Amino acid sequence: MEIIIGLIFVTLAGFGTGAAAWPMKIIKNIHFEQYVFYNILFGIVIYPWIIVLLNVPDPILLIKTVGFKPLLISNLLTMAWGVANLLYMICVIRIGAALTGAILSALGMSIGVIVPLVLKGSGLFINAPNLISVPGIIILIGLFVIIVGVTLVSIAGFGREKILGSQSKQIKKEQASGNFRQGLLLVIVAGILSCGLGLAFVYSQGPIIEAVKQQGAGEITANFTVWALVSLGGVLINLMYAAFMMTKKKTWNLLFARKDEFLYGAIIGIQFIVSSYWVFLAHLLVMESNSQCRLLVTRL
């Protein structure tokens, strides 16, 4: 039963993260930098830190307990993920949401899954199976299937580009803009860099969760505290990019001009956090099968 429920949670998380670009198809004449600013600010700063501040008695003591080195290294890793996040949004515009999501997710998962099996890391990752083991081999087989799927998706993308090349200029304008080969290269780079977030978790999750529990907080708070503390590097990259572009284009006044960009940015932030929550519950159910997770599921 735990495995079945865990698969349901992972599927929900997949839908949540895979559909993260849907507002970009709805907002007309989107202001890209302003939308990125809201998206990142709500999803990775405001929401996680609300959970931390409401549930951790002494956040300053928490940071001191974790130590400077784990937080520094983990945030340097998430800077790579921050670059990948920007490239993801750019690639959605250039080659479309479906191709971008499929290729980036597959590459990110391939690297992000294999590295913890080798390095182990901390927290829940410390119990990861060995690469050369029955679970490890099954994971490698799954990754091989994913890579085959990405290859087929890429071939389909080249075919789509060729068909668009023979259509009228008006039809081209209605499709995702940009050269497909350039977009494919960018999304491959983004896929590789996107594993930085997972590696940051592998490195720093253990000491952060331990420090949170020392203050009496529970598993949910501990999980979101990891997000709040290790993702600041990636947040900095994204917000600096948005601020730089708004300064360059002299469009800071547009930051508060569009209610739809503000609203959808906040909604996607919630979608991101909820998807992360599903993954957390799935891991506890499948890998830990502990009574606390069953209690959380019951409360849902």
Residue 299: Cβ-neighbour burial (10 angstroms; 0-12, 13-18, 19+) = exposed
Model confidence, pTM: 0.67
Report the pLDDT value the prediction gives residue 224, as an integer from 0 to 100.
85
Contact of 231 with 44, CB cutoff 8 Å: yes
In the prediction, which pLDDT does 60 show?
A: 92
The one-letter code for the residue type at 131 is: L
- State percent of the chain over pLDDT 90: 9
CA-to-CA distance for 204 and 118, rounded, in angstroms?
A: 16
pLDDT in tens, 209-221: 889 999 988 877 8
Mean pLDDT of 46-66: 91
Q: Which two tokens stand for residue 105?
A: 């997710």
237: which 2 tokens?
A: 């990259």
Distance in angstroms (rounded) separating the CA atoms of residues 152 and 47 = 37
> What confidence tier does 42 reach under pLDDT thresholds 50, 70, 90?
confident
Decide which of 241 and 113 is more confident.
Answer: 241
pLDDT of residue 37: 85
Least confident of 168-172, 199-203, 245-249: 168-172
Phi, psi of 61 (to 5 degrees): -60, -35
What is residue 31's three-state secondary structure?
A: coil
Residue 9: name the closest of 292, 285, 195 by CA.
285
Residues constituting the chain: 300
Q: Is the pLDDT of residue 249 over 70?
A: yes
pLDDT confidence tier of residue 298, bands split at 50, 70 and 90: very low
Token pair, residue 211, equals 């420090």
Question: In the predicted model, what is the mean pLDDT of residues 181-202?
Answer: 81
More confident residue, 179 or 151: 151
Q: Kindly state the percentage of the chain with pLDDT values over 70.
A: 72
Using CA atoms, how far apart are residues 51 and 224, in angstroms rounded to an integer? 7
pLDDT score for 161: 61
Give the C-alpha separation, 222 to 273, whole Å.
14
Mean pLDDT for the stretch of residues 262-278: 77
